[in-house]
Structure 1
């Protein structure tokens, strides 16, 4: 069964009554579609001994042939507070040297890089929710971070590090902006005074003195910062809490089945996910038109194409080949398809140059 169909099936289940039921009803079916067969202990080992003296056990260990575990998964009941169990699973995962560890209630999945430095919340790179996230996004995230081949080839860890670094940088910028702005208001720099002085003159044809402008800015230190932050669009951040589980099954969301082949300019290329379509089109255009890329994506139309020169403001960044451009890949199937078509149009191609084939 395709992963997207399994996710839809799991969404319709009632909340399991205990950890064992959660593991068998919600967790293992998803892992199976990711290439982890629970009946093959060379791939999935239950009750894996962990800890410095191997006195503890973790619910599931995802195993690499001849290498040992590459990921650990601890399963809790739907009403459990995951925060209460983070330190333990991170400690086990660090001692075992795995790439990724997961703490889950079956509905909520918290994913960590156990070998990273910092507090637990600074090592959590993703939160997946079967109740809130779209099926398309879940397929992409599960495949990227917990897919059999992705974990064995360390692709999961590399992508997780990129996502985590971008999130931490974004949070640092969010905390620094108010501080820098407050500093500029309390001790107004020459450039800011001149800017406001000129704007006032252009508006009322009266020029305030530098002292008037500086005094005004200093008086706004508290109120302007608060108003400015309230007006700023917030960068998506991870929540520290958990929604209360419901005993009712979640509402079903219709998922778009991904194509199997992308036909671009008459040639056929295999794809597995909707995000592959968007990324492949962007990389193909960059390979053909690297010299035109800055002008195209920097145009008014290009600024709506979800291509950035930095990954820090993106929730699911993917780099365009070896360029300095990044794609925002956190989107529904229809949005990813539209973004690919929009990129083609920016470089003068017709939408008919791209065809998606479903088999």
Structure 2
């Protein structure tokens, strides 16, 4: 941590400065941009990713001490689309937090490229989930609007098991057509959703960090069920680093 050839503060990049650059053999491996607790991180994505891209840095981090955003700067897409993983120290479990910090920031993983591989794996996994979440409603709507013989038979079989009478295919198709507006998933882009007039569900929005912590003082924090006394926000970050060092001493340079 105290070797400024490996952890370089205020690293100059084209007239700008990265708060920290993790370097090995004079090569920038990770850029870290650190902001105040009350600042909105979205406002600093462009700067971080622009100079990370220009320098060919494959992993970049934006943090205010509580929230940590991990990026793959060389990926295509908008800034937020290059975000591989997020950590919220106040919301996530301590074991998962510690594991992810080791995955992305241990010296061994950074030096061997495993940190980038770990971020890539998490990113691809999340992209797969996002694609499936977007596609499943479309698939369901397509089935409802154009039911095949298997679905018709399955509904007929179930109805027969419930009442003892088997519905003919036309009656089942009439039922699906009549109730289509209730069966179609709203908010899906594409022809399957164009006939639904219901608005998409409203999602709750978390209170911004600026409103949650601005102007407030800290007296302690909790980690793995233990209470730690601190007098400043900086103490939270230093204290957390100390806890992680005690748990994973081989992952730190002394």
Give TM-score scaled by structure 1 length. Answer: 0.54
* Counterparts in 2 of 1:245 and 1:124: CA distance versus 1, 3 Å: same
Indicate whether 1:41 and 2:4 are aligned.
yes
Unpaired runs of 5+ residues, structure 2, are 187-204, 227-246, 249-254
Indicate whether 1:65 and 2:28 are aligned.
no
Query: How far does residue 195 in structure 1 lie from its aligned partner after superposition?
Result: 0.7
Query: How far does residue 248 in structure 1 lie from its aligned partner after superposition?
Result: 4.6
Give the conservation status (yes or no) of the 8 Å contact 2:67–2:87.
yes
Query: How far does residue 180 in structure 1 lie from its aligned partner after superposition?
Result: 0.9
Query: How far does residue 242 in structure 1 lie from its aligned partner after superposition?
Result: 4.7
Query: How far does residue 149 in structure 1 lie from its aligned partner after superposition?
Result: 1.2
1:236-255: CA deviation from partner (whole Å, max 9, x where unpaired): xxx99854443354641326
Q: Secondary structure at the match of 1:159?
A: helix
Q: Secondary structure at the match of 1:214?
A: helix
Q: Which residue in the other structure is 1:177 paired with?
A: 136
Q: Which residue in the other structure is 1:120 paired with?
A: 79
Indicate whether 1:203 and 2:166 are aligned.
no
Query: How far does residue 65 in structure 1 lie from its aligned partner after superposition?
Result: 1.7
1:252 to 206, 222, 246: 222
Task: Please give the alpha-carbon distance, in whole angstroms, between the structure 2 residues aligned to 1:182 and 1:210.
Answer: 19
Task: Please give the alpha-carbon distance, in whole angstroms, between the structure 2 residues aligned to 1:242 and 1:156.
Answer: 29
Q: Which residue in the other structure is 2:95 paired with?
A: 136
* Counterparts in 2 of 1:199 and 1:248: CA distance versus 1, 3 Å: farther
1:143-188: CA deviation from partner (whole Å, max 9, x where unpaired): 1101111111000111111110010110110111111101111111
Give TM-score scaled by structure 2 length. Answer: 0.74
Task: Please give the alpha-carbon distance, in whole angstroms, between the structure 2 residues aligned to 1:147 and 1:219.
Answer: 59
* Counterparts in 2 of 1:240 and 1:63: CA distance versus 1, 3 Å: farther
Give the conservation status (yes or no) of the 8 Å contact 2:71–2:85.
yes
1:210-250: CA deviation from partner (whole Å, max 9, x where unpaired): 112112223333423449xxxxxxxxxxx998544433546
Indicate whether 1:77 and 2:36 are aligned.
yes
